[in-house]
């Protein structure tokens, strides 16, 4: 899984811009991937998921892209809003274990 450090990567964007948050995973057997959003003082909140038989999935203002060749996952947020400010985690699972990325802190400037 991800190596997890003390300092979260950060991404700062202007309100209205698009955001792209990236995640690399290590287990080629992982077949289910999830993005979570965690606001300060709260538990993670499900955003969108994708199974390994897909390479793209769209939700409301969010898109997840999966590149199994390079074991890379990305989350795209369209028209980012101040309420999107949070820490975003990717998670990978092969149904026996779930591994989380370190997270990326997204800050949206008004």
Residues 48-77 that bind other proteins (CB under 8 A): 49
Pick the closer one to other proteins by CB: 15 or 100. 100
Question: Considering the rule CB under 8 A, would residue 96 count as an interface residue with other proteins?
Answer: yes
Task: Show Cβ contacts of residue 48 under 8 Å, excluding neighbours closer than 6 positions.
Answer: 34, 35, 57, 59, 62, 63, 64, 75
103 belongs to the binding site for other proteins (CB under 8 A): yes
Per rule CB under 8 A, count of chain residues that contact other proteins:
26
Residue 67: φ, ψ to 5°: -120, 100
Q: Site mask, other proteins, residues 3-42, x = CB under 8 A? A: -xxx-------------------------x-x-x----xx
Is residue 38 within 8 Å of residue 86, measured between CB atoms? Answer: yes
């Amino acid at each position: 899984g991800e190596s997890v450090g003390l300092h979260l990567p950060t991404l700062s964007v202007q309100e209205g811009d698009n955001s792209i948050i990236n995640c690399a995973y290590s287990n080629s057997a992982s077949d289910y991937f999830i993005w979570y959003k965690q606001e300060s003082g709260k538990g993670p909140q499900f955003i969108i998921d994708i199974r390994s038989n897909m390479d793209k999935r769209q939700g409301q203002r969010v898109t997840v892209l999966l590149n199994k060749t390079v074991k890379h996952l990305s989350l795209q947020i369209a028209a980012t809003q101040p309420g999107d400010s949070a820490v975003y985690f990717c998670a990978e699972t092969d149904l026996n274990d779930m591994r989380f990325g370190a997270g990326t802190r997204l800050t949206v400037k008004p």
